[in-house]
Structure 1
Amino acid sequence: MPVETDAEVRNILDENTVAVVGCSSTPGKDAHKIPKYLQAQGYEIIPVNPTVDDVLGQPSYDTLSDVEEEIDIVDVFRPSSEVSGVVDEALARDDVEVIWLQLGIHDDEAVARAEAAGLRVVQDRCMKPEHQRLIASA
């Protein structure tokens, strides 16, 4: 079920726990700035990045499969070519409700698989401006 309306996006932004695949420890990168913003807004951020031990004061996991906490949203900051594998990992869990692909990230086949499995998918949007527009400004 494609997420297309502001009401649907607002509903997704009401979730709390966000696993950020590709979360960066480099302050200037979007994959650091956006999770930092979300964390400041009260979201629980779970970094997923095998190259760092922690990000934003949270331990970083190598893969989604390694995450012990429950996950509401999987926010993807990886190249489009890696989306299929991320979706496979998300589908192997029973807690993920949403796959969020950041600006410029696309994989229509993986999105179709996720939607067919009942997950909501946001594609080619950034959580920060969507949050600012729909939640913070309200």
Structure 2
Amino acid sequence: MPVESDAELRELLGLRTVAVVGCSSTPGKDAHEIPKYLTEHDYEVIPVNPNAEEVFGEHAYDSLSEVEEEIDTVDVFRPSDEVAGLVEEVTEREDVKVLWLQLGISDPEAEARAEEAGIHVVVDRCMKVEHKRLHAP
């Protein structure tokens, strides 16, 4: 069952290290602006993009499996047909607590596998929108 309650979302948004799969170095793209917002709100953003050397002055990793830092949340900006492969990478790690699929991204089978592995799954929601909504002054 995907995460839906505001209380759960608040708790998950309290986890501060976010690997952003598909993080873009192109200003104006959601995959750039949303992680940028997160960095501006004290999140540690780890870019995962095989086509970029760095994003926001941070080294961009080619894949989740290459990320050396501990990861709390994996925020996905990739097509739905790539979610199954990402879930495989996520479940191979022992540190990931949340799989966050941005607006329009879903794969019910892969989501179920992540949940079975004990990972919280947020589907079809934007981290920036939810952060603003739940942490507005």
TM range (shorter): over 0.9
**Cα deviations across residues 18-41 of structure 1 (Å, max 9, x unaligned)?**
000000000010000000000000
How many angstroms does 1:68 deviate by?
0.2
For residues 106 and 99 of structure 2, what CA distance do their matches in structure 1 show?
A: 12
How many residues are aligned here? 137
Partner of residue 87, structure 2: 87
How far did residue 4 of structure 1 move?
A: 1.1
Distance in 2, matches of 1:102 and 1:113, equals 18
TM-score between both structures, scaled by the size of structure 2 = 0.98
Look up the equivalent residue of 1:27 and give its one-letter code: P
Q: Hey, what does 2:49 align to over in structure 1?
A: 49
Alignment root-mean-square deviation, CA: 0.7
Would you say 1:18 and 2:23 are equivalent positions?
no
Residue 130 of structure 1 pairs with residue 130 of structure 2: yes
Matches of 1:110 and 1:27 in 2, distance apart?
30
Equivalent position amino acid for 2:67 in 1? V
Q: How far apart, CA to CA, are the structure 2 residues paired with 1:84 and 1:49?
A: 17
Map of 1:60 onto structure 2: 60
Q: CA deviation at 1:133?
A: 0.5
Q: TM-score, normalised by structure 1?
A: 0.98
Deviation at 1:80, TM superposition (A): 0.2
Q: Displacement, 1:2?
A: 2.1
**Shift >6 Å, 4+ stretches:** none
The gaps in structure 1 that reach 5 residues or longer are none
- Unpaired segments ≥5 residues, structure 2: none
SS of structure 2 residue aligned to 1:26: coil
Counterparts of 1:32 and 1:82, CA distance in 2: 19
CA distance in 1 between counterparts of 2:134 and 2:57 reads: 27
Cα distance in 1, alignment partners of residues 116 and 45 from structure 2: 26
Q: Name the % identity.
A: 66
Distance across 2 between alignment mates of 1:89 and 1:74: 10
Q: Summarize deviations over 1:30-87 as a string: whole Å, max 9, x none.
A: 0000000000000000000000000011100000000000000000000000001111
